[in-house]
Amino acid sequence: MVFWRGTKQRWQGHVGFYLEHSYNGEMIQCLGGNQGVRVVIIAYDPNRVLGFISLEDTLSLEIPKPLLRIGSKGQEVLCLQNFLSHLGHPCGPLKGDFGKRTAVGLRIFQLKLNGIYDARKE
């Protein structure tokens, strides 16, 4: 990912590898380095992104078919977590356990998709 520094028009910026969105979805966590020969994890405002390149050539996203809710586990939950993560919605560790962070990521996705969150679908 490339982030602007100072102003968008200047040549200066930051480069990092995307890790995840913060829990509340307001920041992007990236692994990056600096001139001090250090590698650090830094949070950036998503509005500072100039561009990015995906390391994946192809991506097939599929919404899982069964009803999933907090406490669900397994491959279908992992599929949902990968789906949310690839679309930029924070959902916690990709381990196949549907917990609170996955629920928050799903709610954010549903709200952005159609402005409606249906708690009955949990």
| Residue pLDDT, tens place only, 29-63 | 888 876 677 788 888 888 888 887 766 654 566 67
C-alpha distances in angstroms, 6 versus 3, 46, 48, 49? 10, 15, 10, 13
31 phi-psi bin (left φ>0, alpha ψ -120 to 50, beta other): beta
The domain ranges of the chain are 2-51, 75-121
- Rounded to whole angstroms, the Cα distance separating 118 from 111 reads 9
Is the C-alpha dihedral spanning 53, 57, 63, 69 positive or negative? negative
| Residue pLDDT, tens place only, 73-88 | 999 999 889 888 888 8
Burial of 14 (0-12, 13-18, 19+ CB in 10 A): middle
pTM over 0.75: no
Per-residue confidence (pLDDT) for residue 57, from 0 to 100: 52
